[in-house]
Structure formats: structure tokens, C-alpha cells
Amino acid sequence: MKRFAGLLTTAAFSLTAAGFSSSVLALDVEAAKDLAEQNNCKQCHSLRKDKDGPSFMKTAEKYAGKANAVDEVVKHITSGKDVKLADGSSEKHKIAKTMPANDAAQLKNLAEYILSIQAK
């Protein structure tokens, strides 16, 4: 059984590496990284260190075990609610732009990526 699971994981990884994306494969890490890059999320976030915004690892910890985690994160990155920056100023949180606009699958993939970041 263990061996079978290992084979499945390998298959999923090689498909992703070959550039296929499919809703059947849970997470497309490269696509999520690209989207974060294009949206400049890294200006305020990093994977494991807090900047102006919490690290993605911290967000993953915050939502660990919560059934609505993906929806909450998608909501956060699409609703532009007020957030406080380290210098005390506040601004509307960045709204993630996708091509085509508001692509639910890409937003969900990015949220799942954020929620997958764990301590090394």
C-alpha cells in the first residue's frame, strides 16, 4: 500500500513537471509561485519569515485543520480588505490578478500553495 502511494505521488510530480495542469492534481506549485511573483506578493510576504504581512507558513498554521481554509484565503486575496503595514499605515490588501481575470482555479491553487507551506 505504501509503495502504491509512492507511485501515485511520483506520477503526480512528473505530470506537473511536464507542465500539465489538471484539477485532478491537487496542487501546481510552479503555477502558484508564478502567480505570486506576477502579483508582487513577495514584496510583503515570504514563505517562512514575516515581513509586512505574515509568512505563508504562519497562515498555513493559522488555518491548519480548518475546513474552510482555502475559501478564507481566496477571500482574503480577492476582497481587498484593509490591512495594517509594519510602519503603522494601512492600505487595502492587494487583490490577486489572474489571466483570465478572477480565475477561480488559479486563485484556489495559490491559496492551496500558501496553505501547504510548512516549517523545514
Nearer to ligand HEC, 17 or 82 (CB): 82
Close Cβ partners of 56 (under 8 Å, ≥ 6 residues apart): 45, 46, 47, 48, 113, 114, 117
What's the rounded Cα separation, in Å, for the pair 39 and 68? 24
Nearer to ligand HEC, 16 or 57 (CB): 57
Nearer to ligand HEC, 21 or 54 (CB): 54
Closest separation between CB of residue 45 and ligand HEC, Å? 5
Q: Where do contacts with ligand HEC occur on this chain (CB under 6 A)?
A: 36, 39-41, 43-45, 52-54, 59, 62, 72-73, 76-77, 83-85, 93-94, 96, 110, 114
C-alpha distances in angstroms, 47 versus 24, 50, 56, 62? 25, 8, 5, 14
